[in-house]
Structure 1
Amino acid sequence: MLDKAIADALRAISTGTVTTILLKKGVRRTWLHGPRPAFHASERIVGPAFPLRFVPAREDLATPESWSSPISTRAAIEAMPEGVVAVADAMAITDAGIFGDILCARMKKRNVAALVTDGVMRDGIGCEASGLPIWCAGIAAPPSVSSLTFVGWGEPIGCGGIAIFPGDVIVADGDGAVVIPQKLVEEVARLGPEQELLEMWIMKEVERGVPLPGLYPPNEEAKARFEADRKKG
């Protein structure tokens, strides 16, 4: 479970701010390619990553009967702790929906924070009705086993070309989904609000006609003016 103070701090900063802070820390590959806000994604979502992994379909494994297997999406959903963000590696395959309305409804019932995937959903109307926040690459009618085999959860994955490890934190908003490495979560939560305040001040300076050189990024003189204005309130 993510500490509430950290979660609240991350919920107050944009994915753009997160990527900027991580870039300054030398971590460049954090934005997931493919997942886009699709259902109930108007609010920023924050939560620990719960990784799910699919591989290409193999006919003896990818069958409707596999849905009753101990290693199945159904079993994975029952293992999801409250508040996690389910992150599904579907290898960017877009011709088979990895989850539909019933599975999404169950995830919502279990208080899963959101689903993020580089794959697609099925039962779009039902996904909307479930109330589960979803970031995905689109919609497709065929079930997952048409093109994918589910192989497990709780292990490192690659989703949207980005490495996701258990314990990492996902932040998702209107610009997509980003991952914060576990060891940097507290630092991003600490630095994020300060970065947002600085950028709000820079925007006000732009609006009053200040040229960008020396302002964005701020040089020492601009930083000093920022600090002075902040002290004034």
Structure 2
Amino acid sequence: MTTYSIDTLEKYKSVTTATLTTVLLKKGLRNVWIREAFPLSPDQERVAGPAFTLRFVPSREDLATPASWTSPNSTRGAVEAMPEGCVAIVAADGCSDAGVFGDILCQRMKYRKVAAMITDGVVRDLEGVVQSELSVWSKGTAAPPSVAGLTFVNWQEPVGCGGVAIFPDDLIVADRDGAVVVPAALVDEVLEMALEQERLEAWILDEVQNGASLPGLYPPNEENLRRYRESRTKT
């Protein structure tokens, strides 16, 4: 599994998902925001880490049984394979009436120092999941277990989650606006662009707070870009 440097991850944690979607749009990537995955707790901090993917498909009764939980190829096995710092991406086909994970699995993930879990489905055992202090992005909660509506297939393979194609080791960044995927091959280039975009927008915001009007400022024309660059040389 790809390991990103601590420096890279910390820098990505300083960049909003809104900025990342803008930068990725400039690179020609429009479909990067995972739909219907929102922070389960309002105080969750921004996270960044490599994707560890899990895939569910719609339930098939001969496979989706409580007995399947004891199989080596199960969500339990997947949790034990998760490396420290990864972001678990749980592709649940948008299922909203069966919880992909509950309190016990989330507590185990937290113990293994998984950075976060993101799913286009729902979780169960809400109170216990929150108490586990695992950062979770989901579309909500439901009481029934996963096998009531889903069949677990495998982990660490390409998945579609929230309408977005995600490959193992893609970089995931999530905050209050949701979760965004940065293709692994573009991580360094996107980071450089994103940090510059954040600096530019901070300067623009300061100008607006001081009364500047938007035309020619946002986006900046050549004159305002010159002023911005001059301000950078003074810092």
TM over 0.5: yes
Map 1:1-233 → 2, pairs under 5 A: 1-39=3-41, 42-233=44-235
The alpha carbon displacement at 1:40 in A equals 7.0
Q: Which runs of 5+ in 1 are unaligned?
A: none
The alpha carbon displacement at 1:187 in A equals 1.1
> Which amino acid is the alignment partner of residue 56 of structure 2?
F
The alpha carbon displacement at 1:193 in A equals 1.7
CA distance in 2, matches of 1:163, 1:39: 25
Q: For each residue in 1:178-209, what CA deviation from the matched residue of structure 2 results, as whole angstroms up to 9, or x when unmatched?
A: 00001111112222221111001101111222
CA distance in 2, matches of 1:131, 1:75: 21
> How high is the TM-score relative to the length of structure 2?
0.97
* Matched residue SS, 1:204: helix
* Matched residue SS, 1:39: coil
* Matched residue SS, 2:44: coil
> Which amino acid is the alignment partner of residue 25 of structure 2?
L
RMSD: 1.0
The alpha carbon displacement at 1:213 in A equals 1.4
> Which amino acid is the alignment partner of residue 102 of structure 2?
G
Does the 8 A contact of 1:41 with 1:173 survive in 2?
Answer: no
Q: Against the structure 1 CA distance between its residues 222 and 162, is the aligned structure 2 distance closer, same or farther, given a 3 Å change threshold?
A: same
CA distance in 1, matches of 2:206, 2:140: 37
Does the 8 A contact of 1:32 with 1:177 survive in 2?
Answer: yes
CA distance in 2, matches of 1:62, 1:112: 26
> Which amino acid is the alignment partner of residue 72 of structure 1?
S
> Which amino acid is the alignment partner of residue 101 of structure 1?
D
CA distance in 2, matches of 1:22, 1:41: 26
> How high is the TM-score relative to the length of structure 1?
0.98
> Which amino acid is the alignment partner of residue 117 of structure 1?
T
Does the 8 A contact of 1:40 with 1:134 survive in 2?
Answer: no
When structure 1 is superposed on structure 2, of 206-215 and 45-54 the one drifting more is 206-215
- Give the share of equivalent positions with the same residue, in percent: 57
Give the number of aligned pairs: 233
CA distance in 2, matches of 1:5, 1:190: 13
Q: Which runs of 5+ in 2 are unaligned?
A: none
The alpha carbon displacement at 1:106 in A equals 0.4
Structure 1 runs (4+) greater than 6 angstroms displaced: none
Does the 8 A contact of 1:32 with 1:178 survive in 2?
Answer: yes
The alpha carbon displacement at 1:212 in A equals 1.1
CA distance in 2, matches of 1:41, 1:194: 27
